[in-house]
Amino acid sequence: MKIYRNPILRLGSAVILALALTSLLASCKQDTSALDPGTNQPGTPIATTIPKSPDAIVEPADNPSTPAKIELGRHLFFDKVLSVDASTSCGSCHNIGAGLADKRGLATSMGFEHEMGTRNAPALANIAFNTSFTWDGKFKSLEAHAQGPIFNSLEMGNNFTNNPASLDSIATGYNSKPGGNDTLFLFKRLDVRPGDLQGVTYKTLKQQAWNGAPWSMDLIAKSIAAYERTFISTQSTFDKYNNGDASVLRNNPNAIRGLQLFTDVNGANCVSCHSGYNFTDQLFHDNGIGGVGVNNHADEKNVDKGRSSFTKNSADDYQFKTPTLRNVALSAPYMHNGRFATLEQVVKNYRDGGKNTTPYQDPRITKIKSLNLSDQDVSDIVEFLRTLTDNSFVMDKPGKFSNPWGD
């Protein structure tokens, strides 16, 4: 494995401050240690276990990043020609204005021919640090995942069939063994693709990135993955605060109190799952809404059982991956099925112990209910979550997320 250090980041081992969480908040009352008593405004930033910077990005040894490969990946990421009817690209469901989640506000995302998927499109900020991908963790690398949507019968529709008995039917989604003829058909579409807005063709891009190698799914997946590893968000208001700049929250004591509740084991304890620099433990949990079918219908026959649909282990029923919270204020609706429209609804779901209890529900959610967080507590936690928005990332000033095709 190669260690890739992004020059815009201060990378290295995350600094963990060894302070007891229980000292942060003894009750639901505001902890004034983070406030200047003379002004009742934030003073010295409170210490948390949230790292101040991410670890180094680890690239696969067989897919080192190059500027040319990243540029080819950007073109493929935004190219609707990857879908059978030229209607849908990766960028259709992952828009920078929504933190690389679906900007259309759909509970579940829409693919080719207006087919509705069964899950909400997750945000992709800092996806380079993930250890597994998709809500059920089916894929172990960005390279492995990149092919999934291309051959998904509800997303880009390659190798598609209406036959319910098929492994690639609408009912079952991914096909892990795409047919050769369908792959060649996809390659032909890319070969005859006219140039981008600047007149640059795939022939030129492939020559620069891969010395003119012919199309293969491996080449496509590695190029998209190289581009996705550049989706780095590190400059949120919270990041500045966490690195010692108390002034950024000088006029927002509610956000500081929300941070205290978020990290306190005797408060909301959100950090027990939303941990680390990217606010995810990379694990899978039943968060109390698992027994809900497609589009939130409890009586659906084909209820999404989450991770167990992949592992075939009933102990994994209704478990879904903990999502990152970076830029979360922009990525509504929330949960794997888009059940909640607002962050307030999400936090109240945890406070109330979940909406649809199952035998596998994470016991920490029930514990939160016993603390009886007030509506003000919920509001303060949401105010903290809003500080995780990275304006320099979502405004895309360098143009990293501009669509080279213009559609």
User: What tokens appear for 237 in the block?
Assistant: 């208001």
Residue 56 DSSP one-character state: P
- H helix or E strand, kind and range, residue 18: none
C-alpha span between 283 and 316 (Å, rounded) = 11
Look at residue 139 and give its three-state secondary structure.
strand
**pLDDT for position 265:** 87
* Residue predicted with more confidence, 32 or 252: 252
Beta-bridge mates of residue 116? 110
User: pLDDT-based confidence at 26, cuts 50/70/90?
Assistant: very low
Nearest to 96 by CA among 390, 407, 348, 333: 390
Q: How far is CA 103 from the centre of its chain?
A: 13
User: What tokens appear for 302 in the block?
Assistant: 């084909």
pLDDT digits (tens, 9 = 90+) for 301-355: 567 888 888 888 988 888 999 999 999 999 999 999 998 999 999 999 888 888 6
C-alpha span between 370 and 149 (Å, rounded) = 41
Judge contact between 294 and 300, C-beta under 8 A: yes
Look at residue 382 and give its three-state secondary structure.
helix
Q: Which residues does 2 contact at the CB level (< 8 Å), separation at least 6? A: 58, 59, 60, 61, 64
User: pLDDT-based confidence at 41, cuts 50/70/90?
Assistant: low
pLDDT at 174 over 50: no
C-alpha span between 286 and 302 (Å, rounded) = 18
- H helix or E strand, kind and range, residue 58: strand 57-59
C-alpha span between 181 and 344 (Å, rounded) = 48
Minimum mean pLDDT range among 35-39, 356-360, 364-368: 35-39
Judge contact between 197 and 79, C-beta under 8 A: no
CB-based burial of residue 13 (10 Å sphere; 0-12 exposed, 13-18 middle, 19+ buried)?
A: exposed
**pLDDT for position 238:** 97
Domains of the chain: 2-55+236-393 (1.10.760.10), 62-228 (1.10.760.10)
C-alpha span between 106 and 209 (Å, rounded) = 35
**pLDDT for position 4:** 43
Q: What is the mean pLDDT of the chain?
A: 82
pLDDT at 37 over 70: no
Look at residue 391 and give its three-state secondary structure.
helix
Tokens 């941990």 correspond to what residue? 275
C-alpha span between 41 and 19 (Å, rounded) = 23
Nearest to 98 by CA among 87, 114, 109: 109
* Residue predicted with more confidence, 77 or 362: 77
Q: Is the peptide bond before 194 cis (omega within 30 degrees of 0)?
A: no
Residue 35 DSSP one-character state: E
Helix axes 343-351, 375-386, angle to 10 degrees: 130
User: pLDDT-based confidence at 165, cuts 50/70/90?
Assistant: low
**pLDDT for position 221:** 95
Strands (E), 225-379: 284-285, 320-321
pLDDT at 67 over 70: yes
Residues in the chain: 407
Q: Which residues does 151 contact at the CB level (< 8 Å), separation at least 6? A: 158, 159, 168, 174, 175, 178, 182
Helix axes 67-77, 217-228, angle to 10 degrees: 100
